[in-house]
Structure 1
Amino acid sequence: MSIDPGTRPLTEAVPFPLQGKRVLLLNWRDRTHPLAGGAEVYTWNIGERLVAGGSEVTVFTARHAGSARTGLDRGMRVVRGGGTFGVYLAAAWFLLRHRRRFDAVVDFQNGIPFFAPLFAGRRRAVVVVVHHVHTEQFALHFSPLFSRIGQFLEGPASRRVYGRRPVVAVSPSTRRDVRRRLKLRGPIHVVPNGTAARPTVPAGARSPFPHVVVVSRLVSHKRFDLLLEAVPDLLATHPDLRVDIAGDGPDRAALQARAAELGLDDVVTFHGFVSAEQREQLLAAGWVTAAPSQAEGWGLTVVEANAAGVPAVAFDVPGLRDSVVHGRTGWIVPTGTPLAAGLDHALRELADPRTAGSMADRCRTWAGSFSWETSAERLAGVVAGEIDARRSRSRREASDLSVRVEADLRGFSGDVDALLTRLPQVLRRSDEWVVDGHTLQVLLHGCDQAVASEVMDRLGLALCSRMRLATSSDLLTGAR
């Protein structure tokens, strides 16, 4: 059989995993909320693509000033109720009344989960999505008493309520923290953020002078005060430095005041909320972006900058150590090292046009590894697998191992078309596969190499395949 490289044949014959299913998404805020951030970008992009795949999607979220109680957004029915904390009780009541309307519930945990299993019933599929562990952020934003309550709800209470139900983490760092710190017991799948279409960058748009560009929500855990405090030191070696900060948030006024205190009004420009076109123009001019966060689930703004060819400087913290590939798409600065030192090194490297061009190419390639379509399909596979498991009352081992298999189809003695037809029947819903030329790439989740060998033997591929444990990169980019 002749197969074009990079294609996945029989796509038309393999339906979207949640086609025809009714799915409820529980998320703290909606994308129109004044404080909406990366979690809302994730929920809405995934939901929109579930709709495109044939799912009937309802989103329940908090109601904010000026928002309607119900509405339609990108093909999804949006229901709002409760406020910042009241949303949890409102969602519980909504689920108790309407749970029979849904085949599955996706519970997006933003520090405090919705505890959907308590209200969805034992037979209904529930998958919890965790962006990052909030232990330190509870202490940053709340009093000691409320911080301890938050940590209890995120950890011991979640562990008891969710039991062995599947968990989706947006990065390997989050997966590690969910297992080690929260000690959740269910299988954990990595489904990263996607990226928007690659921006169009006009030729010659890069600034002729050192230029740091940040496009982000301005909140305390992003620690952009560290960027401002690094600027005076950077000006000593890069006197033409310019810093553009685009985005809004509760910390904007304090950051502007701090910039004025440091005498940076002529160096740092705060743009506030910008349009997509303005964002592309700012990123096109940038040399580097900075991500001095305390921790992230992934690092969406970093990869969005990468899509424009802009590398990043970030601290070695959860999420960012996954989204920044040190030396290839940016630089990871050891915790405790001044941010100014990392940015100074980056700016010196990027002063060479050839180095800057090579890194820009690598950044775009890395960002191109992620798409919302792929992420939605991967999450849908996890949910569909849980629907099947609930119906059959079967459970799986919560193994954190995944195995990558490469099978040379030229060594397969059977009918390749028949093999590719059998794959969806043999593999789990959450497993991934793609054909690249004469090579079948398979990513098997929740199993070790012994189990993977049994799967390949069932497919008749044991003699023409090789396998290894999946790396963090494999978990992020999938079988493609």
Structure 2
Amino acid sequence: MRTHEINRRLAVRGFHVTVLTTRYPGWKERCEDGVHYVPIGIGTGGNRLTRLVAYVARLPFEVRKRRSAARLVVEDFFAPFSTMGAPLWTGRPTIGVVQWLHAKDKARQYKLPLDWIERWGVRHHRRLIAVSEGIGDRLTKINPDLHVDVIGNGVDPRAWNAEPKLGKDVLFLGRLEYVAKGLDLLLRAWAQACSRVEGDLLIVGTGPDEERARAAIQELGISGRVKLLGWASGDRKLQAISEARLLVMPSRHETFGLVALEALAAGTPVIAFDIPCVREIVPEGAGWLVAPFDVEALGQEIVRRYQQADLEQVAARGQAFARAYNWDALADMQADAYTAAVTKLEGRAAMRHEAGRALK
């Protein structure tokens, strides 16, 4: 979503943008909103693993084939190892966009040194765009010589069209995953809190731990107070957010926390753990931060804020804060970062060329 929302605005500003993507079932090369999309790989892209492997194998070749027409290559970091060290093989000025930096977690999951690849790749970049200050700090710890521009994600403009309602239910929205999204922590906190609040816990999303979550709900004895509603997007997702009394985001780690920002934009107060990246987008007075991973504190906060008398004022402050995250302003910032990257990186390349000539 971020890639398309930024790039379609850059196209309006006169940028010519080609996006190389993985293949997917029914894939086709297309131009959408002025952005040229080219799925690369082998076959139909029906298998997730072969889709990734084929993309990684063909990407350097496909970039080299097009580099004569490109002034800048943008490497958008992706799972499971974040970066392929693109500056080493593009042959053009290259900048990275970091929306994803979780290779350490994937390394634990798959028992592979994916985090080594991530660190190696980051150390070969000179300029990166991070979606949050927290990610920017992590990147500069890996590579102190980096120049990092922080440019956040934007909110779906339709979020402001939703009419905030002081609903009854508490909402979790996201991938059903225990480790990253902290769903296990939320269920335990809800088991402590639900007898003291009127509404139910609505869980919107799908993911690898759905059956595990269902089992935990039964084990905790809260099946009558939890509703799993499946995946939602677009207007249905925004309706669920705007009709909730509170949104709880119990993530153990995030690179940005778009769900929290969307909730603020729609006028729904947010409760989250006080972790890097998230604390940037849950400001005081528009939401509440809880000591990281403290289940008892999370349950108490849900009860306290559910009963708070001035939630309408809290919602209004959240909406005012979220208005800074609009795609037009963010696209302007990204355009400036790209222009600066071309100027600096082309200048550095010219200096190296002149130094080589002098040595000859």
Question: How far has the Cα of 1:349 moved from its partner?
Answer: 3.2
Matched, 1:104 2:60: no
Matched with 2:182 is: 223
Structure 1 pair 132/274, CA: closer, same or farther in 2 (3 Å)? closer
Find the counterpart in structure 2 of residue 351 from structure 1: 307
Q: CA separation in 1, counterparts of 2:144 and 2:57?
A: 23
Q: Tell me, yes or no, if structure 1 residue 61 matches structure 2 residue 17.
A: no
- 1:157 is displaced (CA, Å) by 4.1
Runs of 4+ in 1 over 6 A off after TM superposition: none
- 1:258 maps to 216
Please point out which of 345, 348, 354 is paired with 1:390. Answer: 345
Counterpart of 1:348, as a letter, is R
Aligned residue in 2 for 1:308: 266
| Residue type of the alignment partner of 2:291 | P
Cross-structure match for 2:237: 279
Q: Distance in 2 between matches of 1:390 and 1:139?
A: 32
User: Within 2, Cα distance between the matches of 1:276 and 1:43?
Assistant: 17
Using the TM superposition, give the Cα deviation of residue 344 of structure 1 relative to its aligned residue in structure 2, in angstroms.
Answer: 2.7
Percent identity, please: 25
Whether the 8 Å CA contact 1:312–1:331 is kept in 2: the answer is yes
- How has the CA–CA distance of structure 1 residues 202 and 334 changed in structure 2, closer, same or farther, with 3 Å as cutoff? closer
Deviation by residue 1:310-342 (Cα, 9 ceiling, x = unmatched): 1211112221121212x322111112422x423
Q: Do structure 1's residue 172 and structure 2's residue 133 form an aligned pair?
A: yes
Once residues 68 and 184 of structure 1 are traced to their aligned partners in structure 2, the CA distance between those partners, rounded to angstroms, is: 40
Shift of residue 223 of structure 1? 1.9
The alpha carbon displacement at 1:358 in A equals: 1.4
Q: 2:330 is aligned with what amino acid?
A: S
The alignment partner of 1:120 has SS state of coil
41-50 or 368-377, which moves further after superposition? 41-50
- Measure how far apart 1:74 and its partner are: 3.2
Unaligned runs of 5+ in 2: 42-50, 351-360
Q: Structure 1 stretch 260-269 or stretch 45-54: which is displaced more?
A: 260-269
Name 2:248's counterpart in structure 1: 290
Cα separation, partners in 2 of 1:346 and 1:258, compared to 1, 3 Å: closer
2:89 maps to 1:116: no
Contact 2:83 2:122 in 1 (8 A): yes
Equivalent position amino acid for 2:251 in 1: S
SS state of the match for residue 116, structure 2?
Answer: helix
Deviation sequence 1:369-411 (CA, Å, 0-9, x none)? 111111111111111111122333389xxxxxxxxxxxxxxxx
Query: 1:287, 1:347 within 8 Å by CA — same for their partners in 2?
Result: no
Could you tell me the TM-score, scaled by structure 2's length?
0.86
| Runs of 5+ unmatched residues, structure 1 | 1-40, 396-480
Q: Which amino acid aligns with 1:187?
A: H
Name the Cα RMSD after superposition: 2.2
CA shift, 1:91, in A, is 1.2
**2:204 matched to which residue of 1?**
246
What amino acid maps onto 1:375 in structure 2?
A: L
Query: Could you say which structure has the higher helix fraction?
Result: 2
> Residue 151 of structure 2 aligns with which residue?
191
CA deviation digits over 1:227-256, x for unaligned, max 9? 122221112322x23111222233333323
In the alignment, what sits opposite 2:12? 52
Distance apart, 1:191 and its partner CA: 0.4
SS for the counterpart of 2:267 is coil
Deviation at 1:119, TM superposition (A): 2.5
Is the CA contact 1:91–1:114 (under 8 Å) kept in the aligned structure 2? no
Quote the Cα distance in structure 2 between the aligned partners of 1:317 and 1:202.
29
1:67–1:258 CA distance, 2 compared to 1 (3 A): farther
CA distance in 2, matches of 1:336, 1:390: 42
Shift of 1:115: 2.2
**Aligned mates of 1:200, 1:310 — CA distance in 2:** 13
1:69–1:81 Cα contact (<8 Å) kept: no
Q: Within 2, Cα distance between the matches of 1:252 and 1:107?
A: 32
Q: Does structure 1 residue 373 correspond to structure 2 residue 328?
A: yes
For residues 221 and 239 of structure 2, the distance between their equivalents in structure 1, rounded to whole angstroms, comes to 26
| Matching residue of 1:332 | 289
Counterparts of 1:343 and 1:127, CA distance in 2: 43
Aligned twin of 1:43: 3
**Would you say the 8 A contact 1:313–1:343 is kept in 2?**
no
**d(CA) in 1 for partners of 2:139 and 2:115?**
13
CA drift at 1:213:
1.1
